[in-house]
Amino acid sequence: MADTSFLSDHSMDRRTFLRRSALLAGFVAAGGGSFLSACSSGGGASGDKGPIKLGVLTDLTGALAYAGVADANTAKMVVDEINAKGGLLGRQIQIFLEDSASTESVGVTKATKLIQQDHVDLVVGGITSSMRQAIKGPLVERGKTLYIYPQLYEGKECTPLIYCSGPVPAQQVDPFIPWLMQKTGAKKFYLPSADYVWPHTLNGRVRQVVTASGGQVAGEEYFPIDATDYSTVVNKIMSSGTDVVFVTVIPPGITPFLQQLYTAGFTKRGGSVACVYFDENLLNIVPAQSMEGLYSCLDFFQNIEDPFSKQILDAYNTKFPGSAKFTAGSAATGVYRGLKLWEAAVKEAGSLKQQDVVKALDHAKIAEGPGGPAEMVPGQNHARMNMYIAQAHSGSYTIEKNLGAIDPKECVQGVK
Amino acid sequence: MDVPRLAGIAFDVLSLSSILVLLVLGMGIIVSMMGIFNLAHGELVLLGAFTVYLAHKVGLGVGLGIVLAPIVVGAAGLLLERSVVRHFYSRPISALLATWAVGMMIRESVRAGLHGRSEVVVAPFSGTFAIGNVYLSQWRVAIVLLTVAVIAASYLLLQRTRVGLQVRATLDNASLARASGIATGRVYALTFAFGSALAGLAGALIVPLFALYADLGVTFLVRSFLAVMVGGVGSFEGPILGAGAVGLGSGVLPWVVAPVLADALVFVIAIALMRFMPNGLVHRG
Q: Which residues of chain A have pLDDT under 50?
A: 1-12, 14, 18, 23-42, 414-416
- Residue A412 inside a domain? The answer is no
- Residue A375 inside a domain? The answer is yes
Say whether both A288 and A227 belong to one domain.
yes
Say whether both A36 and A160 belong to one domain.
yes
- Give pLDDT tens digits for B169-191: 888 888 898 898 888 888 889 99
Q: How high is the mean pLDDT of chain A?
A: 87
Which among B2, B9, B210 has CB closest to A235?
Answer: B9
- Give pLDDT tens digits for A291-318: 899 999 999 999 999 999 999 999 999 9
Residue B269 has pLDDT above 90, yes or no: no
Residue B156 has pLDDT above 50, yes or no: yes
- Residue A367 inside a domain? The answer is yes
Say whether both A84 and A120 belong to one domain.
yes
- Give pLDDT tens digits for A16-45: 554 555 544 444 444 333 333 333 334 677
- Give pLDDT tens digits for A131-156: 999 999 999 999 999 999 999 999 99
- Residue A416 inside a domain? The answer is no
Determine the pLDDT at residue A5.
Answer: 39
Say whether both A259 and A315 belong to one domain.
no
- Residue A187 inside a domain? The answer is yes
Say whether both A13 and A110 belong to one domain.
yes
- Give pLDDT tens digits for A49-74: 789 999 999 999 887 888 999 999 99
Say whether both A12 and A89 belong to one domain.
yes
A242, B29 contact by CB (below 8 A): no
Q: Minimal CA–CA distance to A405: which of A381, A375, A380? A: A375
- Residue A52 inside a domain? The answer is yes
Contact B111 A2 (CB under 8 A): yes
B chain contacts of residue A1, beta-carbon cutoff 8 Å = 112
Say whether both A298 and A315 belong to one domain.
no
A285 shares contact with chain B (CB less than 8 Å): yes
- C-beta contacts of A306-312 below 8 A and 24+ residues apart: A306/A371, A306/A372, A308/A368, A308/A369, A308/A372, A309/A369, A309/A370, A309/A371, A309/A372, A312/A336, A312/A369, A312/A370
Task: Give the domain range for residue A229.
Answer: 170-302+390-406
Q: Minimal CA–CA distance to B236: which of B283, B166, B174? A: B283
pLDDT band at B33 (very low <50, low <70, confident <90, very high): confident
Q: How far is B207 from chain A (nearest CA, A)?
A: 10
- Residue A285 inside a domain? The answer is yes
Say whether both A193 and A262 belong to one domain.
yes
pLDDT band at B126 (very low <50, low <70, confident <90, very high): confident
A261 shares contact with chain B (CB less than 8 Å): no
Number of domains in chain A: 2
Please give the average per-residue pLDDT across B32-56, as a whole number.
91
Say whether both A30 and A88 belong to one domain.
yes
Say whether both A96 and A237 belong to one domain.
no
Say whether both A24 and A132 belong to one domain.
yes
B chain contacts of residue A61, beta-carbon cutoff 8 Å = 111, 115-116
- Residue A77 inside a domain? The answer is yes
Say whether both A38 and A145 belong to one domain.
yes
The residue ranking higher by pLDDT, B69 or B26, is B69
A chain contacts of residue B111, beta-carbon cutoff 8 Å = 2, 61
In chain A, the residue whose alpha carbon lies closest to the alpha carbon of B141 is A263
B chain contacts of residue A224, beta-carbon cutoff 8 Å = 259-260, 263
CATH of the domain at A80: 3.40.50.2300
